[in-house]
Structure 1
């Protein structure tokens, strides 16, 4: 399995601007809802889960977040990806007392627990490559990011 099978071009967004995590979540939820990927309660469940189990990862130059929520909120599996012109604060996964400015977000919508574990493992492997993360953050278009992600999946 590869993360590529869950990436849909219509859910790739580059160079977005938000003032808060809340605005970011609303935007990504709206796009996923329009595409028929999520149920109505996805946004509230995502927001609540993030408060309890934060998903920010401090990686140095470009920090990443991997927000996700319960499988029953997902009607069609997906990974939404967004790069941010102005980073948004996320509490850290490994220390929820700390925060990091995040510039790359992978919002997961997976409804199979086995897929979620495999996707998380593959994503963590990919984001440990600082050059790959920088390439994704620097992508100027949906197509450029899709190609960069496709190359990452093919190299595995």
Structure 2
């Protein structure tokens, strides 16, 4: 379950960033400062995003699920950012389709086998437009965890 691994210290419900690089610096920097990732993590996110975009258009709301290689990770975690204003990402699998991301699920993946399972669970939760709407509207960290928990329990 995703919600069991969530930590309020890794949730930014009012993230202000003007670019994906600023998202990486703030949210990735949080993973570094909280001891989940090495100092190389933020730069590795930036580099990986150029070759493997992580934006996903989920109907009315764009999301991004940035992550990088395990050598930059100390222990697994998920950081969540809800952006005040959407930030430009490219659609996963392309380098020319824009996604204006409002919600970021940044992964610190230590075990590559868990990566795909975790990604699938996140996408199952986020396919629900009502859940997406609730996540971007709340400013309460615990409420974000509760919304995800409630949806996961329905799956």
Aligned positions of 1:4-23 closer than 5 A = 4-23=3-22
Q: State TM-score, norm by structure 1.
A: 0.94
Q: In the TM superposition, what is the alpha-carbon distance from 1:60 to its structure 2 partner?
A: 2.4
Q: Deviations over 1:3-43 (max 9, x none)?
A: 22331111011122111111111001221111100011111
Q: Deviations over 1:73-106 (max 9, x none)?
A: 1111100001011000001103221111100000
> Cα RMSD over matched residues?
1.1
Q: In the TM superposition, what is the alpha-carbon distance from 1:113 to its structure 2 partner?
A: 1.4
* Structure 1 equivalent of residue 36 of structure 2: 37
* Structure 2 equivalent of residue 50 of structure 1: 49
Consecutive unaligned residues of structure 1, counting only runs of 5 or more, are none
* Structure 1 equivalent of residue 85 of structure 2: 86
Q: In the TM superposition, what is the alpha-carbon distance from 1:154 to its structure 2 partner?
A: 2.2
Q: In the TM superposition, what is the alpha-carbon distance from 1:46 to its structure 2 partner?
A: 0.8
Distance 2:63 2:24 in 1: 14
Consecutive unaligned residues of structure 2, counting only runs of 5 or more, are none
Q: Deviations over 1:116-152 (max 9, x none)?
A: 1110111111111111111111112112111111212
Q: In the TM superposition, what is the alpha-carbon distance from 1:62 to its structure 2 partner?
A: 1.1
Q: State TM-score, norm by structure 2.
A: 0.95
How many residues of Structure 1 are paired with residues of Structure 2 in the alignment? 155
* Structure 1 equivalent of residue 72 of structure 2: 73
* Structure 1 equivalent of residue 144 of structure 2: 145
Distance 1:77 1:120 in 2: 13
Q: In the TM superposition, what is the alpha-carbon distance from 1:64 to its structure 2 partner?
A: 0.6
